[in-house]
Structure 1
Amino acid sequence: MIPSRNIVLVSLLVLAVVSRFLPHPPNFSPILAVSLFGGVYFANRWVSLLLPLAIMALSDAFIGFHALVPVVYGMFVLFALAGRWLKNRLSIGTLAITGLLGSSAFFLVTNFFVWATSGMYSLDADGLATCYIAAVPFFQNSLLGDAIYIPTLFGSFYLMEKSGFVPEQQIA
């Protein structure tokens, strides 16, 4: 019996989300990959946009909320939109570039808001540079997480489709 596409998609996403609760370095997260994946594979725009928000809200209810929740969540909605754009252009190259641009955008935007709102840095060019420099280890973890989670999610689903384990059709 071939499992439905929905079951396989949701199972892959659940595994990615569970990994948020396992011990891991800061910012080593599956959520960018989940956002892109949902944007590509869920036909319903609202499901693809709300999925990363629901995952973040559920896991943050246990892990803890923070002052930058609106910025972080907004970035994941943008990544889901990027996944929707990627849907008809999906290749290893476009996926790699989108992942790298996503990691970079997340780093630049969230750390700009840390600089602007935290009170930890002077509100001048030196403070902004110091903030970005201090965040480089987190950026490295984000890049590594995305380099692992994006190919794992997309690659495993692709292999399941090609092997006939999952029917090749878009879900709702």
Structure 2
Amino acid sequence: MEKISPKTLTLIAIIVAVSLYRIFPHPHNITPVMALALFAGTYFQKKWMAFAVPLVSMFLADLFLGLHSTIIFVYGAMAIAVLIGFWLHNRVSSLKVIGATISSSLIFFLISNFGVWFVSGYYSKSWAGLIECYTMALPFLQRSMMGDLLFSGVLFLSYWQIQKYWLGKQAVSS
């Protein structure tokens, strides 16, 4: 069996710790969901882990919180955020992380609310029903984008600090 590197263990620990936020009381729609996927796509060397770790963390939280009919749309949007993270991998900068986070938030909004329109029965299955669904969801977009930006900041800055700390330790011990 292949040994897991300290970097991979650190990434997993950060993602699991932040994903636990979902099971505690928090402001509605301010969650780390898309930030976790973006972060994982950016830093995991093994692409399968970039998908598996945030999706499994999300699924475990969903088992506790309750599964829902739009889960496939939510997880699909997360998978796209992982892909955006792959693009970000060698391009990490503050502005690019902010741009990737906003893009991920908008993708999540479009896909998850399409799922609500498609499976919920709340809206007519027409162009007008889809527009109504997106319009009704606009107030949630601001809060979820705030959460994504907040948690992307926490994840990326935490990881940067951890790397800086460990690189300093290695330089001292060499």
Structure with more contact order per residue of length (Cα contacts < 8 Å, sep ≥ 6): 1
Contact 1:160–1:166 at 8 Å: present in 2 too? Answer: no
Question: Hey, what's the Cα distance between the residues in 2 that align with 1:16 and 1:48?
Answer: 15
Query: Contact 1:5–1:167 (CA<8 Å) still a contact in 2?
Result: no
Gaps of 5+ in 2: 1-5
Task: Tell me by how many angstroms 1:166 deviates.
Answer: 7.7
One-letter code aligned to 2:43: Y
Residue 103 of structure 2: aligned partner? 101
Give the superposition deviation at 1:163.
3.3
Instruction: Name the aligned partner's letter for residue 52 of structure 1.
Output: P
Paired residue for 2:124? 122
Give the whole-Å Cα distance in 2 for the aligned partners of 1:141 and 1:19. 16
**Equivalent in the alignment of 1:90:** 92
CA deviation vs aligned residue, 1:112-150 (integer Å, no higher than 9, x gap): 221122221122333222211211222122111011100
Residue type of the partner of 2:95? G
1:158 aligned to 2:173? no
2:121 partner SS: coil
1-structure distance, mates of 2:8, 2:90: 20
Deviation for aligned residue 1:165:
6.1
Does the Cα contact within 8 Å between 2:42 and 2:85 map onto a contact in 1? yes
**Contact 1:50 1:77 survives alignment (8 Å):** no
- TM-score computed with the length of structure 1 as normaliser: 0.87
Q: Is it true that 1:71 corresponds to 2:79 in the alignment?
A: no
Cα deviations across residues 70-111 of structure 1 (Å, max 9, x unaligned)?
Answer: 111111111111111110111111111111011011111111
User: Matched residues in 2 for 1:95 and 1:64: separation?
Assistant: 31
- TM-score of the two chains, using structure 2 as the length reference: 0.86
Corresponding residue to 2:137 among 135, 138, 143: 135
User: Relative to structure 1, is the Cα distance of residues 67 and 29 closer, same or farther in structure 2, using a 3 angstrom cutoff?
Assistant: same
- When residues 37 and 157 of structure 1 are mapped into structure 2, their CA distance, relative to the original with a 3 A threshold, is same
Aligned-partner Cα distance in 2 for 1:121–1:45: 37
- Superposed CA deviations along residues 16-47 of structure 1, whole A, max 9, x for unmatched, are 11111111233221121111111111101111
Unaligned regions of 5+ residues in structure 1, if any?
Answer: none
Q: In 2, distance between residues paired with 1:134 and 1:117?
A: 16
- Pairs aligned (count): 166
DSSP-derived class of the 2:90 partner:
helix
- State percent identity of aligned pairs: 36
What is the RMSD of the two structures over their aligned residues, measured on CA atoms?
2.1
Among residues 45, 48, 56, which one is paired with 1:46 in the alignment? 48
SS at match of 1:28: coil
User: Which aligned segments of 4 or more residues in structure 1 are displaced greater than 3 angstroms?
Assistant: 163-168
